[in-house]
């Protein structure tokens, strides 16, 4: 039998706590739930470096932000030359490698084949069949790869849980049966009043929509729609006779803020709704079935785990570690505390422990939030009550731990913390000096603008990089 294949589902903007796989009361992921039951799921996986570009860079290189030197959505240039991606490792080990829906982003370096699909939309263009568009490209490619003599690595970047949330019927109303245009409902007033994003929201919200719960239901409906389409992929995998010799990994680059923390319907803010992501592995005979691991793990562990499961020794000293001992019930020292960064619409970093969460701003943000935030996670899992002013001793202790970690990693890598050096993270050429300046400057007006921020367009389409 040839080496196991790898099918990696990278579901953009998927927050773990909205999956029925992890106990969400709405049945949003029945096909993923059933499939993941045949393997091992991790309930406490975090993506410490958000958003998309650093999230996938960490996933595909097995490195933290110091090791990969990437922290920003608008990362300038490609991945550093000292890095080797999962696609490059597997390609060098005889795998056919195909990337669907992620061409142009620095993190996607090294695939032998790139395929794209329509993964955005707007209210005027109609309901978005993102997952069906992905399947239209993916299923023929999966069948082609299955017919090749060499094993394959097929990466799919699903976009349904990334705004705009426009699932087709019946998923639009699957979790909502009220009047989304009720004039008495004022819950979207602060959303429409948020200047940086309000025009973007109006481009895909229904006209006169007033109810935030409708928009949240669209996110959940888009997730359920995508899940149904993923069920089609699983069925094809089975019909091709590949399910016994294909490692399937399910993960996300980051979560999503819905109505949380005033970071409306996006994925900025280093709150756990954005950092906490799903992670599951399925490979019959190799990955234990029906196992749920609750230890804290991170994106940097994904590539080492995949290589361990495939039996490939890359010779690379990853920052992450294989999770196979976890799956097998063997002891593995847990990284219960970790450093996190953000350079999306704000530039922040912090320190996360099982008990406390410290967030420190590196420059003023466009939400006018305090420079220091502290949350007691056991009693405030939603991170709604900032305790920095009443617990300065905890702030000082966590800051000391964070500073020591930064200094150690800078010494080990010989590089300055990239969140300190990437000062053009905002595309403006310099850090913001006030929240008002950030509020007046940062703006997204259309799905096309949002798409351009995600990755460069193909040279044949735009003729230039847009990052």
123-160 pLDDT, tens per residue? Answer: 888 899 999 999 999 999 999 999 999 999 999 999 99
- List C-alpha distances in Å: 34 to 38, 222, 224, 230: 7, 18, 14, 12
In a domain, 382, yes or no: yes
Task: Identify whether 465 is part of a domain.
Answer: no
Same domain, 376 and 320: no
Alpha-carbon distance 384 to 360, whole Å?
16
pLDDT value of residue 407: 98
Amino acid 447: pLDDT: 59
Domain boundary among 301, 327, 353: 327
Q: Do 131 and 17 belong to one domain?
A: yes
Domain boundary among 277, 305, 327: 327
Split into its structural domains, the chain has a count of 2
Distance CA 346, CA 258 (A): 17
* Residue 261: closest CA among 272, 245, 247: 272
Residue 428 confidence (pLDDT): 87
User: What are the residues whose beta carbons fall under 8 Å from the beta carbon of 1, sequence distance 6 or more?
Assistant: 245
Q: What is the pLDDT of residue 108?
A: 94
Q: What is the CATH number of the domain that holds 160?
A: 3.40.720.10
Regarding whether 346 and 268 lie in a shared domain, the answer is no
Is residue 382 domain-shared with residue 323, that is, in the same domain?
no
Q: Whole-number mean pLDDT of the chain?
A: 93
Does 131 lie in the same domain as 31? yes
Is residue 164 domain-shared with residue 300, that is, in the same domain? yes
The predicted pLDDT at position 301 comes to: 97
The answer to the question of residue 333 being in a domain is no
Shared domain for 80 and 226, answered yes or no, is: yes
pTM over 0.95: no
Which residues of the chain are modeled with pLDDT < 70?
A: 1, 445-467
pLDDT at 463: 31
Cβ contact 85:109 at 8 Å: yes
pLDDT in tens, 240-254: 999 999 999 999 999
pLDDT for 448 equals 65
Instruction: Give the separation between CA 208 and CA 436, rounded to whole angstroms.
Output: 28
Same domain assignment for residues 297 and 319: yes
Q: Pick from 299, 327, 355: which residue ends a domain?
A: 327
Query: Is residue 462 a part of any domain in this protein?
Result: no
Q: Is residue 318 a part of any domain in this protein?
A: yes
- Verify that 303 and 435 share a domain, yes or no: no
Confidence at residue 465, expressed as pLDDT on a 0 to 100 scale: 29
**Is residue 466 situated within a structural domain?**
no
Calculate Rg over the CA atoms of the chain: 21
Residue 321 forms part of a structural domain:
yes
214 & 288 share domain: yes
Q: Which domain holds residue 240?
A: 5-327
Co-location of 440 and 388 in the same domain: yes
Alpha carbons 110 and 23: distance in angstroms, whole number: 36
Assigned domain for 464 exists: no
- The answer to whether the bond into 51 is cis (omega within 30° of 0) is yes
254 plus 351 within the same structural domain: no
């Amino acid at each position: 039998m040839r080496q196991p294949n790898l099918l990696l589902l990278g579901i953009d903007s998927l927050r773990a706590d909205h999956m029925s796989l992890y106990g969400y009361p709405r049945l949003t992921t029945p096909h993923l739930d059933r499939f993941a039951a045949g393997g091992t799921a991790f309930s406490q996986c975090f993506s410490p470096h958000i958003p998309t570009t650093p999230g996938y860079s960490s996933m595909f290189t097995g490195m933290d932000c110091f090791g990969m030197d990437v922290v920003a959505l608008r990362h300038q240039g490609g991945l550093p030359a000292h890095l080797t991606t999962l696609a490059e490792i597997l390609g060098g080990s005889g795998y056919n490698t195909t990337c669907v829906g992620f061409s142009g982003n620095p993190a996607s370096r090294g695939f032998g084949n790139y395929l794209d699909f329509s993964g955005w939309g707007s209210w005027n263009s109609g309901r978005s069949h993102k997952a069906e568009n992905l399947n239209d490209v993916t299923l023929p490619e999966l069948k082609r790869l299955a017919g090749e003599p060499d094993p394959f690595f097929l990466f799919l970047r699903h976009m349904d849980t990334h705004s705009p949330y426009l699932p087709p019927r019946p998923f639009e109303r699957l979790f909502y049966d009220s009047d989304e245009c009720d004039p008495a409902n004022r819950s979207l007033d602060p959303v429409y009043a948020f200047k940086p994003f309000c025009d973007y929201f109006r481009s895909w919200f229904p006209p006169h929509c007033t109810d935030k719960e409708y928009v949240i239901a669209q996110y959940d409906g888009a997730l359920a729609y995508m899940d149904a389409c993923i069920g089609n992929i699983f069925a094809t995998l089975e019909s091709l006779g590949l399910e016994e010799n294909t490692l399937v990994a399910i993960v996300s680059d980051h979560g999503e803020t819905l109505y949380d923390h005033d970071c409306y319907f996006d994925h900025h803010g280093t709150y756990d709704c954005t950092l906490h992501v799903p992670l599951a592995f399925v490979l019959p005979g190799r990955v234990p079935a029906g196992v749920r691991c609750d230890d804290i793990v991170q994106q940097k562990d994904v590539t080492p785990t995949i290589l361990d499961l495939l039996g490939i020794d890359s010779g690379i000293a990853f920052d992450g570690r294989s999770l196979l001992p976890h799956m097998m019930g063997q002891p593995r020292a847990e990284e219960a505390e970790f450093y996190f960064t953000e350079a999306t619409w704000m530039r922040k970093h912090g320190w996360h422990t099982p008990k406390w969460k410290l967030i420190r701003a590196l420059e003023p943000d466009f939400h006018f939030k305090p420079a220091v935030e502290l949350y007691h996670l056991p009693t405030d899992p939603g991170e709604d009550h900032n305790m920095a002013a009443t617990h300065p001793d905890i702030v000082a202790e966590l800051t000391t731990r964070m500073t020591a970690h930064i200094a150690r990693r800078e010494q080990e890598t010989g590089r300055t913390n990239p969140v300190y050096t990437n000062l053009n993270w905002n595309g403006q050429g310099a850090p913001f000096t006030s929240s008002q300046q950030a509020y007046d400057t940062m703006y997204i007006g259309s799905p096309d603008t949002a798409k351009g921020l995600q990755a460069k367009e193909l040279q044949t389409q735009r003729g230039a990089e847009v990052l």
